[in-house]
Structure 1
C-alpha cells in the first residue's frame, strides 16, 4: 500500500515533511530531537505523546484541516502543518453532537485522531482503525482510545477518530457540491489515508490495517467495503451490528430534504448555509433508519450496501461480522420511528407463521425487529462475502441477569467493552468469567493474522452455509448451522414480501 493521495489530495504531499522512503525501514516509533521515542514525525509536523499503562499514546492529532467557514460541507482538506513539536497528550474536541449527548468539549473544528501502541512491542505492528458508533449524531474516538489499553497491549496499534456528525456531516443541497451528502464518511476515508501515509512512523504496518466499527461505525465499515474509493486503504474489516439491508437515499431525494431544511432556516445559497450557527444545524433531524445515511452520491457510494455485496463488488478482504442477540429492543421501536415497519413486517410474514418460527408470541415481540434490522442482515452480508473472501460471523449473547430481566438478551453494542477488554458491566466477571479475554483475543488475532483462530480457542468456522460462533456466558460455542436459521429465514422472506 504505502503512501498515497486521495481525499486529502496533492496538497498533503506538498506539505509533507517526510518522504516516501521513510516507509521502507521503520519498525517502531522513530526517536526525534532529544532522543525521545514519544516524538514522532508526521506529514504535518512533529508530535510528542505520552506513556501510560504500558501504552504509548498520541492524542488529538489533526488529520485534516478544520471543516469550518468555507470548508463546511466540503470534502476534508489537508491538515495545516505546524512548526516545532506539537503536544499530543490530550484528546481533541469531539465533533458537535446532537444536543445534550456529550459532556466532553465539542466543536466544529474536530477532525482529530488518536494513535495508541504498546510500549514494549517491536516490529511493524498490525493496525486497527476503529470508527465509533452513535447513529451518526453522537460519539467520538476518545472512548475506545481511553478504554483500549488492554487491547493495545495484545500487540496492536489502535487508531480512533472523530468524523463530522449530524447535518454538518451529512447534508445534500443544490448550492453545495455532491460531496456534502457524505462528508462524514469522506472524513473516515481521509483518516484511513492519513494512516497509510503516517502509521509506519508510529510502528504500525500500513499493509496490515483493519478497519472496524460498531453500530454506525459498523455501517460505515460496510459502506467503505462497498465503495470504489477505498481500494488499498485497508486489508481487513470488522463490522459489529452494522445493519446491512438499510434503505439508502438517492442524491436527488437527499437534496430535496436538504433544501427543505435549509429553506426553513432561511438559507437559500451556499454563503447563507455556511453562515448558519453550527449548533442550530445540529438540531436538524438525521435518521439512519430512514436511509438518510449514507446517500448514493455516485462517487463514494454507488449503490446500497446489500446490492454491492450481492453483486460481489465489495472489497475482497477478510471480514468479521456479527450482531448481539437483541440488537434492537422492542420498547425502542416507537421512539426510533420503527413501529410501523414492525407492523408491516408482521403483516407480511403472518403472525401465525412467525410464532411457528420463533416458538412463542413473546419471542416474536422481543426479537422480530432486532433480527430484521441487525441479525439477518449480518448473516446475509457474511454469506454473500464468504464467496469472495474469508469471512467469520458471530452472535454476542453475553448478558448479566439484570439486563436479561430488563430486555431479554444482550443489548445493542454490549460486546464493545468485551472487544476492547475495558470497563465491563457490573457483575460481568461473575456472570461470564473470562469472556473479555475470550472476545478480545479473537478480535486481536483477526487484526494480527486475518483469522480469529488462535491456540487454545474454540474453533470459529468460516461463514459458509450459515456457520457462526456464539459468544455466551458459558464461553464460545461453535455452530456449524445457525440454530436461529428457521426464524431468520422467515424474517428474510417477510422482508422480501413473501410469507
Structure 2
C-alpha cells in the first residue's frame, strides 16, 4: 500500500506521526510512502520538452512506484498487487496517475479519499500559457532571465535558495494538463478511453468537506458574513475553478436559507458549495464515470464518512459548526484511536477504537482482494447508486445517493457535456 499525503500539493511530508502506517502494516500489508516535490518546486513549468516540464511532483510519485515494483519483493510485497491510496491532494494526484500515459502497469488498485482532478469542462484550471507567464513572473522577481525558450531562466532559478519560492505559494496547486505527463483532462480521457482501465477503485468523501477548506482560504468566514460576502467568495472561487454562474450558485445553495440570510446560514451554504466543487463532486463523478466506462470485472466502491470522534475537535474541526470535516477519516485509517490517547487523554471511546480497526480492515482487505467487505455493494449494482455509510453505529447501511441533487443534477453539466 503506497501512501500519498495531502496538503494542496503545497505542503505535507511522510514524516508525520499521525500517518506512519505501522498500525496498517499490522494487517498483513506492506506500507510504503515517499516524499514528492511540492508547490513551485514541484509544479513550475518551463515548457514541454524543457527540463521543467511541469508536474515533477507527480513524476516523483511515478519514480517511487517504479522503485516499489522493482524492489517490494525484498520486503515481502507483491509487485502485481500495489494499491495507491491518498487523501486530498494525494487523492487528486491518484486521479491524475489514472489518466497519465506514464503510469501504465504500475499499480493494481487505488483508494481515493476526498479528491480528484476533475474540473470545469470548458477549460483547464491552469493553462500551460498561464503557467509559463507565472514562471516568468517568478523568474523576474528572483532576478533571473524571463527567456524560457533557452535554459537561462531555469538554470538561474535552480541556483536560487529553495526558500525563495515559498513567497509564491498559493492555497492550492493543481496538476498541469496539456503536458507530457497529463496530455488531456479526465473528461477527455474517459471520452476517448485513454486511461488505465485495469483498476479496482475505492473512493469516498466526508459529509462536510467544505468547512475546514473554506475557512483556510476565506478569512471572512471567521466573522459574521453577509449576502455580499457570499457573492464575493463565489467570485473569488471562480478565479481558480472557472465557469461559475453566480446567480445559479445562489439559487441552488441559498434556496434553503431564510429570507433574512443569517450569517450562520450563509456560512453553511458556502461550506456546502465549496465542498461540492472542490472535493465531493469531483471525487464522486470520477468514481462513477470510471465504473460506467470500465469492465464489470473492475470493482468500484464509494463511501461517505458520517462520523467523527472528539479528537477531531482537538485537530480544529468542531462538529457542531463544521460537521464531519475534510481529513476526518485519517485518524481511523491510520489507527490513531489505538494510541493517541497517550498524548490527548480521553479523546477516544471504545467505539472509536473498534471503528478504527474496522476501517483499517476495510482498507487493507480492499488492497489485498479488491473488495472491502462482503456487505459493501459496488457503486453500480442492480441499477442503483450505492454509497456506503461509513459510520460505526450501522456498518451495513447503504445510503440513498447523497450526491444525487448536488452532483448528479446541479453540477453534472458543469463537468461534462451530456449527449
- Identify whether the pair has TM-score above 0.5, normalized to the shorter chain: yes
Question: In structure 2, how many angstroms separate the alpha carbons of the residues matched to 1:145 and 1:204?
Answer: 23
Question: In structure 2, how many angstroms separate the alpha carbons of the residues matched to 1:335 and 1:188?
Answer: 33
Structure 1 position 385 matched with structure 2 position 299? no
Question: In structure 2, how many angstroms separate the alpha carbons of the residues matched to 1:168 and 1:131?
Answer: 17
TM-score, normalised via structure 1 length: 0.66
Tell me which protein shows more helix as a share of its residues. Answer: 2
Question: In structure 2, how many angstroms separate the alpha carbons of the residues matched to 1:493 and 1:282?
Answer: 36
Partner of 1:103: none
Contact between 2:4 and 2:86, CA under 8 Å: does it hold in 1? yes
How far the C-alpha of 1:341 sits from its partner, in A, is: 5.0
Among candidates 262, 271, 290, match of residue 139 of structure 2: 262
Partner of 1:466: 385
Higher RCO, Cα 8 Å, sep 6+: 2
Among candidates 327, 341, 361, match of residue 413 of structure 1: 327
Q: Deviations over 1:295-350 (max 9, x none)?
A: 12432111123432454432120011111111121434425996425688573425
Among candidates 173, 182, 185, match of residue 304 of structure 1: 185
- Specify the SS of the correspondent of 1:204: coil
Structure 1 position 226 matched with structure 2 position 99? yes
Contact between 1:309 and 1:385, CA under 8 Å: does it hold in 2? yes
Aligned residues: 364
Q: Deviations over 1:240-292 (max 9, x none)?
A: 1113423432322211211111112111123311211111123322453xxx5
Question: In structure 2, how many angstroms separate the alpha carbons of the residues matched to 1:477 and 1:251?
Answer: 46
- Specify the SS of the correspondent of 2:388: strand
- Specify the SS of the correspondent of 1:476: coil
Question: In structure 2, how many angstroms separate the alpha carbons of the residues matched to 1:366 and 1:145?
Answer: 26
Provide structure 2 residue ranges, at least 5 long, that are not aligned to the other structure: 146-151, 221-231
- Specify the SS of the correspondent of 2:395: strand
How far the C-alpha of 1:160 sits from its partner, in A, is: 0.7
Within 5 Å, give how 1:27-66 maps onto structure 2. none
Question: In structure 1, how many angstroms separate the alpha carbons of the residues matched to 2:183 and 2:322?
Answer: 38
Contact between 1:376 and 1:491, CA under 8 Å: does it hold in 2? no
Among candidates 185, 188, 202, match of residue 75 of structure 2: 202
* Bigger Rg, which one: 1
Greater shift after overlay, 335-344 or 481-490? 335-344
The change in CA–CA distance for 1:393 and 1:220 in structure 2 (over 3 A counts) is same
Structure 1 residue ranges (4+ consecutive) displaced by more than 6 angstroms after TM superposition: 357-361
- Specify the SS of the correspondent of 1:206: coil
Partner of 1:294: 175
Partner of 1:325: 207
How far the C-alpha of 1:400 sits from its partner, in A, is: 3.5
Provide structure 1 residue ranges, at least 5 long, that are not aligned to the other structure: 1-127
Question: In structure 2, how many angstroms separate the alpha carbons of the residues matched to 1:345 and 1:298?
Answer: 25
